[in-house]
Amino acid sequence: MKTRSFVIALGMVSSLVFWACSGEEGVDGVNGADGTSCYAKALKDSSGLELYCGDEYVGTLKNGQDGAKGDKGDKGDDGAKGDPGDKGDTGAAGESCTAKEVSDGVVVSCGGEVIGLIKDGAKGDKGDKGADGAAGTSCTATKLEGDAGIEIKCGETVVDTVKDGAKGDPGAAGTSCTAEEVTGGVKITCTDGKTYTLNNGADGKDGRNFDEGWMVDHRDYHIYKIVTIGTQTWMAENLNYETETGSYCYNDSAKYCEKYGRLYTWATAMDSAGTWTTNGKGCGDGKTCSPTYPVRGVCPEGWHLPTQTEWNTLFTAVRGQSTAGRMLKSTSGWYDSGNGTDAYSFSALPAGNRSYYGEYKDEGRDAYFWSSTEDNSGSAYDMFLYYSLGNAGLGNNYKDDGFSVRCVKD
């Protein structure tokens, strides 16, 4: 059985006093096992020290007053002489600790480092011996016969059995398809009896158009329908490129951006910050500017924001301004049967607008599209369509209003 010895120095204010107990001279014993290096660690509240030997916690030394003098113990019996033991290996050197008396207790230092202060505390009552702790229960896991699961046993008690899950039903057979090259494309035939034909697409133009009816905005890879009307090629959908500022979803809801595209202030539509070009830089609310045409503005590369003149050119191509509303509006979505014929696939939707003071209004009833033509420092020209009118109009509105954007190809 291993034993450990401690020498504890307790100081009074005026002097350093040591007690040591000595017994009768014992007979030679066997050499002991290597000693364990011990150290003391101050409690966080400075109420005493925790004692450790090696990595094992031994006990806590609480500050207290001098205890009462104990009764003289009975003389112990002489121990039998032990056989000489082998000399043990030299133990690792422990840190040297010292205790220095101060006014309110003793400062303990180990290896030159102060580890705590043992204050003079009140005399503590002698504690009762604690009861022996209950023996822990060992648990095991045993695989059941036939790989049916695992039995968990703690002590002699089976506490649980983890059964293997039932085997799942076989999955349905997948559909197999084959592809063969045919004139103008590829024919796909599947075992479910369905066939598909993929026609070869037209060659792209300048790396952007992959088909005559589509284009890609390479900033966010959004795909837009396009349409050629007369001498102009237009986007057949509203622009839906999200800018850091100055663009909005109707009612601040993403579902309206998916349906109608975004609503832009005139400054954002003109790219007044000069993010992509400088042609419209500095054109914003409260400023009169002289842009360089064509103004790309917020449009994809190779496209630009239409001028007031270019809107008029579109009206002429669809049989005049007086019928342009009916020709350009989509065939559904307009309030009170105000749909158009969409005769030229321009597909104008009633996206409504956002006022300069932040109110969203008229979704389903009207559509406004910016032009790059300025009216004055506070307003710019736009094209508008109403559910109740068959014509199209050109008007001017506040630059801080939020309108849709349709881009025309350079």
Which sequence spans correspond to the domains of the chain?
1-17+38-62+95-122, 177-203, 214-409
Q: pLDDT value at position 107?
A: 65
Integer Cα distance of 282 and 270 in angstroms = 9
Average pLDDT score over the chain: 80
Selection from 125, 118, 84, 124 nearest residue 104 by Cα:
118
Selection from 236, 265, 303, 283 nearest residue 382 by Cα:
265
Instruction: Answer yes or no: is pLDDT of 219 > 90.
Output: yes
Sign of the CA dihedral running 278, 282, 285, 290: negative
Contact 288, 267 (CB under 8 A): no
Task: Pinpoint the alpha helices (H) of 226-365.
Answer: 254-260, 266-269, 308-317, 321-328
Which of 47-61, 73-87, 135-149 shows the lowest mean pLDDT across its residues?
Answer: 73-87
Instruction: Answer yes or no: is pLDDT of 179 > 60.
Output: yes
Q: pLDDT value at position 15?
A: 38
Q: pLDDT value at position 206?
A: 46
Integer Cα distance of 312 and 322 in angstroms = 11
Q: Which residues does 163 contact at the CB level (< 8 Å), separation at least 6?
A: 148, 149
Q: pLDDT value at position 370?
A: 98
Residues 197-214, mean pLDDT to the nearest whole number: 59
What CA dihedral angle connects 100, 106, 109 and 110, to 10 degrees? Answer: 110
What φ, ψ does residue 326 adopt, rounded to 5°? -65, -35
Res. 405 pLDDT band, cuts 50 70 90: very high
Q: Which residue has the higher pLDDT, 56 or 283?
A: 283
Per residue in 304-333, pLDDT (tens digit) is 999 999 999 999 999 999 999 999 999 999
